[in-house]
């Protein structure tokens, strides 16, 4: 598929796809006229990259981790495996913080609803 189709199927801009290639995160072949061509697997790859970016990983970090994604084996550098564990721990901490924030908001919602109800009851009585 061409770059425009990949962009449409993934919801990612053509510019971002070119950037992914520049960073070594995505590969394509070139047609005789020089147009980029992607396999169907590129859709899954771009979706995966988007999830990693959304989780706060940088292009550099993603590039460090991709060898373990592409060919998990004992031959991979232990540094990449350690980096994955660090990123997972960072994400777990962030998730915990988000849950605390959500729980605090739930408490505020409950308190405000109770207060509104008490005001309605007082006004009606």
Global confidence as pTM: 0.70
> What's the pLDDT score for residue 75?
60
Alpha-carbon distance of 96 to 3, in angstroms, equals 38
| Positions of the chain with pLDDT lower than 50, given as ranges | none
> What's the pLDDT score for residue 64?
84
Cα dihedral angle (10, 11, 12, 14), rounded to 10 degrees?
90
Domains and CATH numbers, the chain: 1-54 (1.10.1660.10)
Average pLDDT over the chain, rounded to an integer: 90
């Amino acid at each position: 598929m061409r770059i425009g189709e990949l962009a449409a199927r993934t919801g990612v801009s053509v510019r971002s796809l070119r950037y992914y290639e520049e960073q070594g995160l995505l590969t394509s072949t070139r047609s005789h006229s020089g147009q980029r061509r992607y396999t169907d697997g590129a859709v899954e790859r771009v979706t995966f990259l988007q999830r990693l970016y959304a989780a706060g990983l940088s292009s550099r970090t993603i590039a460090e981790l991709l060898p373990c994604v592409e060919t998990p084996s004992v031959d991979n550098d232990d540094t990449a495996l350690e980096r994955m564990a660090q990123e997972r721990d960072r994400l777990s901490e962030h998730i915990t913080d988000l849950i605390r924030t959500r729980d605090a908001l739930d408490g505020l919602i409950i308190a405000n609803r109770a207060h509104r109800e008490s005001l309605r009851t007082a006004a009606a009585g």
